[in-house]
Amino acid sequence: MTLILALALLAANLFCFLLFAHDKAAAVHGERRVPERVLLLSAAMCAAPGALLAQRWLRHKTRKQPFGAWLTLIVFAQACAVAGLVALAFQRG
């Protein structure tokens, strides 16, 4: 079960990274862009690390606001959720 969850999270983060890469390429070539709400929704679906990695490596959406603030909020919420799950797991022993 843990392996399946890890693979699902890896796939979600890879998808999110590729979505950001596609949007960056579209921006460079003047093509139709991926809506920001789709990028943020993909990050919110347990793929914030992929979104952050894409943002940094591709230098994409780094100065765009309020996009950056929303992405930061998503990352913070997911980090809190993970911390809560880890604390719960340790509490149960």
| Tens-digit pLDDT profile for residues 20-64 | 999 999 999 999 999 999 999 999 998 999 999 999 999 999 999
Determine if the peptide bond prior to 66 is cis (ω within 30°): yes
Question: How many structural domains does the chain have?
Answer: 1
Residues contacting residue 22 through CB under 8 Å, at least 6 positions apart: 34
5-14 pLDDT per residue, tens:
999 999 999 9
Query: What is the band of 92 on the pLDDT scale with cuts at 50, 70, 90?
Result: confident
Q: What per-residue confidence (pLDDT) applies to 13?
A: 96
Residue 1's pLDDT is what? Answer: 73
Direct distance between the N- and C-terminal alpha carbons of the chain, in angstroms, rounded to an integer: 19
pTM comes to: 0.89
Range of the domain at 30: 2-92
